[in-house]
């Protein structure tokens, strides 16, 4: 149902329903809307409802009827938000809700910030300021006005979830509460950049949405002081350059109120303004808007938290999927080779990690065991690890030695697109027929070889090359050896050594060697003993780095390995692609 809302006069705030085909306004008691003012004619004007909409018509009154400050001559159509002035009484026409909803047109256009700081210092028509953080100010409001505002805000926000919907509902309610307002907008602080950005705008007239101009000085002053501001007449306010800021939208009165979050931070501002000289905002209006802003701030904060929650849930699902994809790059189970046992353990610090290991089958029944640590963590490291997985296999089957394979891999990762990224890696080639192995280290922690009699040998430390991705890399050097029955080779990433306990102490290599030295039995027992030792050492402290562990060992109670030549020791003749 259409209605008139009085915004100026003795009955300011009263609502008159247009519930008949012809509603007469005048001083006579038989009029549908009685205006008991001496200057009003007995039958002053009428509003007519037709199939084509509503129309307003002056009934030859003595002082005339004005539609949007233009004197009526004949019948004129009414639009939602139009103002009707009869003498000193001003009404706003509200049509039935349309596709744009009650409370004006909704839009969000590009806003122009007006730089008016210098002029702001020289003069101002600010009537009042209120501390928006003070609960006392929220209690000094006309109870009827406050109740109407809060009820309308609460009803309209009851079903709103998304932030844009919340803001639009807020402005719709505020335009209904402050019937003299021509437009309202909400500016929020961007959570990532900290910049103030207009997020929602509502105005009663579509033409008022064309050029949204906002005083940067007023908004910044409100944000910094956390005080609500009421300006009596912006049109005469020396802060504004009319030719630049409000020439296209002659604003006269403004209220700007901060939105204060639960932690005291400013989430943004709400501003309401009007172009009517006779429809200025009052101190009571400012108090009502401050009260409403306290509720709106909670809703906005909840909406922001909801959006953050949705984004986090989406990210969680994407990371879970990425975790599954990454697991697909890793071996699903250890290889099965006669007389050899394998153990592997991979524990990323987050959903996805940058550590990597693989078993690559080579010609002549040989096996490559790769363990690597990509620089960085998270998604970037995981993407680099995926690239490494594909390129490592290609280089192993394309080159004739482990040294050549790593050199080719290094050339690939020295390209510009992988700048500032590097990979530490240790590569072992096992020949299970002769029980020989070759070991090449590219800037990684050395391997640990525990002999059957308990002796510990550190391999790959003296001849370690630079990490993969370093353009200064020269030739890689292979160390070679032989697996005797009961020998065990341990490969690991820095996540094990750097694991911290509650006192900030790292697990370190000494503890690693002690566990390896004291644990006998198959490689699974050694592997589980190492993992358990790290977990006990760390305790309840959160894991900060990826942990990767690969162990291979030759079964005990077998004959010794065949003797091999000095050329075999050197490694380069160990062709990988025979």
217-231 residue pLDDT tens: 778 888 888 889 888
pLDDT at site 251: 66
Segment 141-161 shows an average pLDDT of 60
Alpha-carbon span 77 to 82, nearest angstrom? 10
Residue 120 pLDDT: 43
pLDDT-wise least confident of 194-208, 387-401, 434-448: 194-208
- pLDDT tens for 50-68 read 988 999 999 999 899 999 8
Cα gap 478→401, rounded to integer Å: 9
pLDDT confidence band for 49 (50 / 70 / 90)? very high
**Confidence band, pLDDT 50/70/90 cuts, at residue 6:** confident
Within 8 A by CB and 6+ apart from 293, the residues are 132, 228, 257, 258, 259, 260, 270
pLDDT score, position 148: 63
DSSP 236: G
Q: Of 352, 342, 359, 336, which Cα lies nearest the Cα of 384? A: 352
Residue 372 contacts residue 389 (beta carbons within 8 Å)? no
β partners of residue 123: none
pTM of the predicted model, to two decimals?
0.53
Question: Which of these ranges, 74-83, 112-121, 466-475, has the smallest mean pLDDT?
Answer: 112-121
**Rounded Cα distance, 91 and 100, in Å:** 21
Which of these, 146, 144, 182, 103, lies nearest to 290 by C-alpha position? 146
User: Whole-angstrom Cα distance, residue 187 to residue 112?
Assistant: 13
What's the whole-number mean pLDDT along residues 170-198?
Answer: 83
Look at residue 540 in the predicted model and tell me its pLDDT.
86
SS3 359: strand
Q: Identify the pLDDT of residue 216.
A: 78
> What per-residue confidence (pLDDT) applies to 109?
43
- Tell me the per-residue pLDDT of 494-539, one tens digit each, with 9 for 90 and over: 989 989 988 889 999 999 999 999 988 889 999 999 999 999 999 8
- Residue 372: name the closest of 334, 346, 352 by CA: 346
Share of the chain above pLDDT 90, in %: 31
108 Cβ contact partners less than 8 Å away, ≥ 6 residues apart: 198, 199, 200, 201
Domains of the chain: 3-94 (2.60.200.20), 126-134+142-235+249-306 (3.30.450.40), 330-554 (3.60.40.10)
Residue 300 binned pLDDT confidence (cut-offs 50, 70, 90)? confident
Determine the pLDDT at residue 486: 92
User: How far apart are alpha carbons 388 and 396 in whole angstroms?
Assistant: 12
pLDDT of residue 146: 57
Could you give the 3-state DSSP secondary structure of residue 415?
coil
Instruction: Report residue 414's pLDDT band, with 50, 70 and 90 as the boundaries.
Output: confident
Residue 297: per-residue pLDDT: 86
pLDDT at 142 over 90: no
pLDDT tier for residue 361 given thresholds of 50, 70 and 90: very high
Binned at pLDDT 50, 70 and 90, residue 144 comes out as low
Q: How many CB atoms lie within 10 A of CB 211?
A: 15
Q: What is the mean pLDDT of residues 209-216?
A: 65
Per-residue pLDDT band for 240 (boundaries 50, 70, 90) equals: very low
Q: What is the mean pLDDT of the chain?
A: 80
Distance CA 93, CA 7 (A): 11
Q: Region 555-569: what's the mean pLDDT? A: 54
What pLDDT sits at residue 277?
Answer: 72
Per-residue pLDDT at 96: 56
Once rounded to an integer, what is the mean pLDDT over residues 92-96?
A: 80
Question: What is the DSSP secondary structure assignment for residue 487, as one 8-state letter?
Answer: -
Q: Quick check: 419 pLDDT over 70?
A: no
Residue 436 has pLDDT above 50, yes or no: yes
Strands (DSSP E) found in 302-435: 340-347, 355-361, 367-374, 423-431
Q: Are 371 and 447 in contact (CB under 8 A)?
A: no
Higher pLDDT: 248 or 556? It is 556
Look at residue 1 and tell me whether its pLDDT is greater than 80.
Answer: no
More confident residue, 450 or 156: 450
Please tell me which residue, 314 or 560, carries the higher pLDDT value.
314
Task: Round to whole Å and give the CA distance between 28 and 30.
Answer: 5
Q: Are 228 and 255 in contact (CB under 8 A)?
A: yes
pLDDT at 181: 87
Range 563-572 average pLDDT: 43
pLDDT-derived band at 177, boundaries 50, 70, 90: confident
Question: According to the model, what pLDDT value does residue 569 have?
Answer: 41
What value does the mean pLDDT take over residues 426-430?
A: 95
Average pLDDT, integer, range 323-347: 88
pLDDT confidence of residue 140: 43
pLDDT score, position 14: 80
Would you state the pLDDT for residue 380?
72
Instruction: Reply yes or no on whether the pLDDT at 112 is more than 90.
Output: no
- Tell me, what's the pLDDT at 416? 53
**Res 248: pLDDT:** 46
What is residue 515's predicted lDDT score, i.e. its pLDDT? 94
């Amino acid at each position: 149902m259409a209605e008139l809302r009085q915004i100026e006069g003795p009955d300011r705030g009263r609502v008159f329903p247009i519930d008949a085909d012809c509603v007469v306004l005048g001083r006579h008691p038989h009029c549908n809307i009685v205006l008991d003012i001496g200057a009003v004619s007995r039958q002053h004007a009428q509003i007519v409802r037709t199939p084509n909409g509503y129309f307003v018509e002056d009934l030859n009154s003595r002082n005339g009827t004005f539609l949007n400050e233009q004197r009526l001559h004949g019948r004129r159509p009414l639009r939602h938000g139009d103002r009707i002035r009869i003498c000193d009484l001003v009404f706003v026409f509200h049509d039935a809700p349309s596709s744009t909803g009650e409370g004006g047109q909704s839009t969000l256009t590009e806003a122009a910030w007006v730089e008016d700081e210098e002029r702001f210092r020289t003069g101002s028509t600010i009537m009042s300021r209120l501390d928006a953080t003070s609960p006392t100010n929220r209690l000094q409001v006309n109870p009827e006005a406050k109740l109407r505002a809060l009820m309308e805000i609460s009803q309209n926000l009851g079903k709103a979830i998304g932030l844009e919907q919340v803001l639009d509902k807020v402005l719709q309610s505020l335009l209904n509460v402050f019937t003299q307002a021509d437009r309202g907008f909400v500016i929020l602080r961007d959570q990532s950049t900290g910049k103030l950005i207009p997020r929602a705008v509502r105005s009663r007239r579509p033409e008022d949405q064309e050029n949204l101009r906002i005083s940067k000085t007023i908004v910044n002053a409100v944000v910094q002081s956390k005080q609500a501001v009421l300006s009596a007449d912006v049109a005469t306010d020396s802060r504004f350059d009319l030719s630049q800021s409000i020439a296209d939208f002659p604003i006269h009165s403004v209220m700007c109120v901060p939105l204060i979050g639960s932690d005291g931070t400013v989430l943004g501002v709400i501003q309401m303004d009007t172009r009517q000289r006779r429809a200025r905002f009052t101190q009571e209006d400012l108090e009502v808007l401050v009260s409403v802003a306290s509720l709106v701030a909670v809703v906005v904060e909840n909406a922001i938290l909801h959006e953050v929650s949705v984004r986090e849930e989406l990210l969680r699902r994407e990371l879970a999927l990425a975790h599954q994809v990454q697991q697909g790059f890793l071996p699903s189970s250890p290889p099965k080779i006669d007389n050899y046992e394998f153990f592997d353990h991979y524990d990323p610090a987050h959903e996805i990690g940058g550590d990597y290991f693989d078993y690559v089958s080579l010609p002549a029944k040989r096996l490559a065991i790769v363990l690597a640590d990509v620089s960085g963590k998270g998604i970037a490291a995981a993407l680099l690890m995926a690239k490494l997985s594909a390129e490592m296999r290609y280089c192993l089957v394309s080159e004739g030695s482990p040294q050549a394979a790593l050199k080719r891999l290094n050339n690939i990762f020295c390209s510009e697109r992988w700048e500032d990224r590097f990979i530490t890696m240790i590569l072992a080639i096992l020949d299970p027929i002769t029980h020989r192995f070759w070991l090449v280290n590219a800037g990684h922690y050395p391997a640990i070889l525990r002999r059957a009699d308990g002796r510990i040998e550190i391999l790959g430390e003296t001849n370690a090359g630079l990490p993969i991705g370093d353009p200064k890399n020269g030739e890689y050097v292979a160390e070679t050896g032989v697996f005797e029955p009961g020998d065990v080779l341990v490969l690991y990433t820095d996540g094990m050594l750097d694991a911290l306990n509650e006192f900030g102490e790292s697990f370190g290599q000494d503890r690693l060697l002690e566990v390896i030295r004291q644990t006998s039995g198959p490689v699974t027992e050694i592997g589980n003993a190492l993992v358990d030792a790290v977990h006990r050492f760390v305790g309840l402290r959160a894991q900060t780095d990826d942990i990767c562990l690969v162990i291979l060992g030759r079964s005990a109670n077998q004959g010794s390995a065949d003797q091999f030549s000095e050329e075999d020791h050197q490694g380069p003749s160990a062709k990988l692609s025979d």
